Structure 1
Amino acid sequence: MATYIALLRGINVSGQKIIKMEHLRQIFEALPVHNVRTYIQSGNVLFEAEEQPTDFLSAQIEQTLRDALGYDVRTVVRSSEELAEVIARSPYAGEVQGEKEKIYVTFLSALPSESNIAQLMTFKSDVDDFQVSGHEVYIRCRESYGKSIYSNNFMEKKLGVAATTRNWATVNKLLALAKA
Structure 2
Amino acid sequence: MRFVALLHAVNLGKARKVNMAQLRALLGTLGLSGVQTYIQSGNALFDADPDPELGLKLETALGAHFGFSIPVTLRTADDWQQTARACPTDLLTEPVTVAFLTRQPAPDAVAALQARDVRPERWALVGQQVYQTVPEGTRNLRLSQAVLTRVLGVPCTARHWRTVQAIAEQL
TM score, norm. by length of structure 2: 0.94
Higher mean C-alpha displacement, 105-114 vs 44-53: 44-53
How far the C-alpha of 1:126 sits from its partner, in A, is 2.5
Structure 1 segments (4+ residues) deviating >3 Å: 92-95
The question of whether the paired residues in 1 share the 8 Å contact of 2:91 and 2:132 is answered with: no
Map 1:101-180 → 2, pairs under 5 A: 101-178=94-171
Q: Deviations over 1:103-145 (max 9, x none)?
A: 1100011111111111111113321111112211010122212
- Among 54, 58, 75, which residue is 1:61 paired with? 58
Rounded to whole Å, the distance in 2 between the matches of 1:109 and 1:131 is 16
Unaligned residue ranges in structure 2 (runs of 5+): none
Q: Deviations over 1:84-120 (max 9, x none)?
A: 1112211137731xxxx31110001111111111111
Map 1:18-97 → 2, pairs under 5 A: 18-53=17-52, 56-92=53-89, 95-96=92-93
How far the C-alpha of 1:59 sits from its partner, in A, is 1.2
CA RMSD of aligned residues (A): 1.5
Rounded to whole Å, the distance in 2 between the matches of 1:153 and 1:16 is 18
Aligned AA (1:156): T
Count of residue correspondences: 171
Percentage identity across aligned positions?
Answer: 27
TM score, norm. by length of structure 1: 0.89
Rounded to whole Å, the distance in 1 between the matches of 2:89 and 2:42 is 24
Aligned AA (1:58): G
Aligned AA (1:71): F
Unaligned residue ranges in structure 1 (runs of 5+): none
Aligned AA (1:138): Y
